[in-house]
Structure 1
Amino acid sequence: MSTPTTVALPTDMELVLKVFPMPKDSNNNGDIFGGWVMAQVDLAGAVLPARYTCGRMATVAVNEFIFKQPVQVGDLLSFYSKVTKIGRTSVQVLVEVFAERRVLGNQYVKVTEATLTYVAIDENGRPRPLPITELQPRRQY
């Protein structure tokens, strides 16, 4: 892993999740366990596709997953996402994860990026067409 470079947060993506990893989420090296980060990315990645599937959906692929820097206990993680592709039954998203490091004066370090694909499913778990295929206006919360 290279020395962390501080970055600005993305302006072309939507903030979908913020979370503090806890000491119980750490591995034997004292960093946050990669599997915990992957689970959070899957949760964050599902937010935008849920607007298109309007019902049940499943993660069908983790197309790419890159750990750029270790996540540390005490980091505040911000998960940003954007839709990159809409298919007949599926939605692909890019998720980028940034750690706010207080030891760096509250600057951000990009720690993870992933591309995931979610598919709309029916009551039998089979793919179904998306009811919404047009890009929806950004919801204000």
Structure 2
Amino acid sequence: MTIHNDRQPVLRVVPGPSDINANGHIFGGWVLSQMDIAAGIIASRRANGSVATVAIEKMEFLAPIHLRDLISVYATVERVGRTSMGVRIEVIATRDRGATHIKVTEGLFTFVALDEQHRPRPVDAA
């Protein structure tokens, strides 16, 4: 697992009781939502404007998230094309009062930069 001592997470969230599935773990959809929010923040900054999620590539759930885990979501722009960019997301769960750090999922989210009419525009054209 990568330890991120050199950078700050885009989001830090503690899931609540309403986020639990029948197995007592956090819903995958809740985690996906947090990842999309973090990726969107980073993509919007890079595009200097509005963006839309257009694809999620190879997302794998590596370990469950438990109630009261502190979830840290890290995001990095991995590639930039003409109108799109790929944002790598990694989610780390911290438990046992900070003693344990577990990588729970990661994925590559693709975003398209949007103009005022919500059509694709060049990433570097603000």
TM-score by length of 1: 0.81
Query: What are the ranges of 5 or more consecutive residues in structure 2 without an aligned counterpart?
Result: none
Choose 123-132 or 69-78, whichever is displaced more: 123-132
Contact 1:8 / 1:108 at 8 angstroms: preserved in 2? no
Q: Which residue of 1 aligns with 2:118?
A: 125
Taking every aligned residue pair, what percent have the same amino acid on both sides?
A: 44
Superposition pairs of residues 1-141 of structure 1, within 5 angstroms? 7=1, 9-11=3-5, 14-102=8-96, 106-131=99-124
Q: Which runs of 5+ in 1 are unaligned?
A: 1-6, 133-141
| Secondary structure class of the residue paired with 2:121 | coil
The question of whether the paired residues in 2 share the 8 Å contact of 1:16 and 1:44 is answered with yes
Report how many residues are paired: 126
CA drift of 1:66 comes to 0.8
User: Which residue identity does 1:45 align to in structure 2?
Assistant: A
Structure 1 CA distance for aligned equivalents of residues 120 and 102 of structure 2: 37
Letter in 2 for 1:92: G
Q: Could you tell which deviates more after superposition, 63-72 or 47-56? A: 47-56
Runs of 4+ in 1 over 4 A off after TM superposition: 11-14
What's the Cα RMSD here? Answer: 2.0
- Per-residue Cα deviation, 1:70-124 (whole angstroms, up to 9, x for no partner): 1100100011111110111111111100000117x62200001011011111232
TM-score with structure 2 setting the length: 0.90
What amino acid is the match of 1:48?
Answer: I
For the residue of structure 2 that corresponds to 1:99, the secondary structure is strand
